[in-house]
């Protein structure tokens, strides 16, 4: 929308002296015309201001919609990434508590990371001692237990 404003031409000296030649009716008509012109200019200025405010509101509404779309797009990418990590973890047999540890941007990177984690999870471990094997019991602690242990060895 083009905003062209026209400035009224400056009255010439002959026009400045014209109101004296018009008489009372002409002077009243000229004065009424000037008031109407001033009111019309004021209204035009107000309408231009309202139009600019409306255009700014439309632009801010568009910016808000773009920001909201970007937010939803980021959420979608996060959900898709989590879904991909879970799918790969299930395919590889990775425990579910390790799914959040998978890293990578592509499916191949995540699969390689899952393979590395599986190698650590399935790595051979050094055997830990089994407390159920070996000598049972310990030294008797009460006199009755000592007596029973002494008499059973006779």
Q: Give the model's pLDDT for residue 20.
A: 62
Distance, CA of 70 to CA of 63 (rounded, Å) = 11
- How far from the centroid of its chain's Cα atoms is residue 44's Cα? 42
Distance, CA of 111 to CA of 91 (rounded, Å) = 9
Residue whose tokens read 């019991």 = 137
User: Would you list the domain boundaries of the chain?
Assistant: 24-122
Mean pLDDT of 73-81: 95
Q: Give the model's pLDDT for residue 125.
A: 74
Lowest mean pLDDT, pick from 26-30, 41-45, 52-56, 119-123: 119-123
Mean pLDDT of 106-118: 92
Q: Give the model's pLDDT for residue 71.
A: 93
């Amino acid at each position: 929308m083009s905003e062209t404003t026209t400035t009224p031409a400056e009255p010439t000296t002959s026009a400045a002296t014209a109101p004296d030649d018009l008489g009372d009716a002409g002077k009243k008509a000229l004065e009424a015309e000037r008031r109407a012109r001033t009111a019309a200019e004021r209204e035009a200025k107000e309408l231009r201001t309202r139009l600019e405010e409306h255009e700014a509101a439309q632009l801010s509404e568009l910016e808000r919609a773009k920001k909201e779309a970007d937010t939803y797009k980021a959420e979608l990418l996060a959900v898709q990434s989590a879904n991909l990590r879970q799918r790969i973890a299930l395919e590889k047999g990775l425990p579910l508590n390790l799914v959040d540890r998978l890293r990578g941007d592509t499916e191949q990177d995540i699969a390689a990371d899952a393979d590395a984690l599986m190698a650590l999870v399935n790595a051979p471990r050094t055997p830990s001692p089994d407390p159920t094997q070996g000598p049972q019991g310990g030294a008797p602690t009460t006199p009755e237990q000592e007596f029973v242990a002494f008499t059973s060895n006779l």
